[in-house]
């Protein structure tokens, strides 16, 4: 029964966690990986859950552990949701709003710039061993929150909603530089249209916006890498603060 509880927590994590969720890992790899990790962690979990529990208690243990892993993966994916939102802002500002591609991970259409920013963030997260850190955080969670947990605080929904609200804030912080620069470019083009009526602003403006936007996007990559490193280091505290309601 302890192994089932551990398996439920890992299963919830792999549903929405960065790098592990989506189609990056096929089910034929994800399922054996989940089972193998749960068996390994079983020897390090001190909790013992008897098999003769009532059906209601057994279902509660499985459900709560799954929700814990799901919530932890959702918090860990906060940065990547913000990157997708910032990438959408980049795409609209560069004039690539109609340049959509099919995202095989989310099975939806997304702006091409958004995918570029998201894949860059995923690459940085993988280089700094973010998936290993995330698994370590979940394994350590069994020392703070036992596998036999059967209830959680009523404030958990409020805490998760606050965390999800940070997606918009983070996306705006990352996307604000390019928004401001694109606004300045638009103002400059408007002034040039008044000073030089013979200049076709529509022909000059589109490639100029794309050029300036790509330069700014390249300049933001070091800032993005630094943000990802800082976020990964603080990932344990984020998950711990949010999951205190369990």
Q: Which has the closest alpha carbon to 73: 111, 120, 30? A: 30
Q: What is the overall mean pLDDT for the chain?
A: 78
Query: What is the DSSP secondary-structure string of 8-54?
Result: HHHHHHHHH-TTTSTTSS-HHHHHHHHHHHHHHHHTT------TT--
- pLDDT given at position 129: 87
Average pLDDT (125-133) is: 87
The per-residue pLDDT for range 53-91, each reduced to its tens digit, is 788 888 888 888 888 888 888 888 887 887 877 777 777
Confidence of residue 101 (pLDDT cuts 50, 70, 90): low
Beta-strand runs (E) in the chain: 100-103, 108-111
Residue 98: what pLDDT?
Answer: 64
Cα angle, residue 44 at apex, residues 151 and 54 outer, rounded to 5°: 35
Q: Token pair of 167, please?
A: 């997606």
List Cβ neighbours of 32 (8 Å cut-off, separation of 6 or more). Answer: none
Lowest mean pLDDT among 10-24, 116-130, 151-165, 172-186: 151-165
d(CA 72, CA 74): 5
Total of domains in the chain? 1
What pLDDT sits at residue 193?
77
Top-confidence residue, 189 or 22 = 189
| SS3 label, residue 67 | helix
- Domain span holding position 93: 2-245
Dihedral angle over CA of 222, 23, 104, 209, nearest 10:
-10
Residue pLDDT, tens place only, 222-242: 887 887 788 878 777 777 766
Q: Which residues pair with 102 in a beta bridge?
A: 109
42-51, 82-91, 110-119, 196-205: which has the minimum mean pLDDT? 196-205
What's the predicted TM-score (pTM) here? 0.77
Contact 30, 20 (CB under 8 A): yes
Residues 6+ positions from 244 with CB-CB distance below 8 Å: 159
pLDDT bin (cut points 50, 70, 90) of residue 108 is: low
């Amino acid at each position: 029964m302890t192994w089932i509880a551990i398996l439920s927590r890992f299963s919830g994590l792999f549903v929405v966690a960065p790098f592990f969720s989506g189609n990056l890992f096929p089910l034929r790899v994800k399922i054996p990986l989940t089972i193998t990790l749960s068996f390994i962690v079983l020897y390090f979990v001190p909790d013992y859950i008897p098999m003769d529990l009532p059906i209601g208690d057994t279902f509660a243990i499985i459900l709560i552990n799954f929700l814990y892993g799901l919530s932890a993966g959702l918090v860990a994916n906060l940065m990547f949701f913000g990157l997708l939102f910032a990438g959408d802002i980049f795409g609209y500002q560069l004039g690539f709003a109609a340049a959509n591609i099919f995202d095989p991970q989310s099975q939806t259409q997304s702006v091409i710039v958004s995918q570029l920013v998201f894949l860059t963030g995923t690459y940085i997260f993988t280089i700094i061993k973010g998936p290993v850190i995330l698994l370590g955080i979940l394994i350590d969670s069994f020392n703070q929150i036992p596998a036999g947990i059967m209830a959680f605080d009523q404030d958990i929904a409020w805490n998760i909603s606050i965390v999800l609200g940070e997606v918009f804030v983070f996306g705006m912080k990352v996307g604000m530089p390019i928004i401001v620069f694109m606004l300045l470019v638009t103002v400059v083009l408007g002034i040039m249209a008044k000073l030089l009526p013979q200049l076709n602003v529509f022909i000059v403006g589109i490639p100029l916006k794309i050029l300036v936007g790509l330069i700014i996007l390249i300049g933001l990559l070091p800032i993005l890498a630094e943000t990802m490193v800082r976020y990964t280091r603080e990932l344990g505290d984020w998950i711990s603060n949010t999951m205190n309601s369990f």
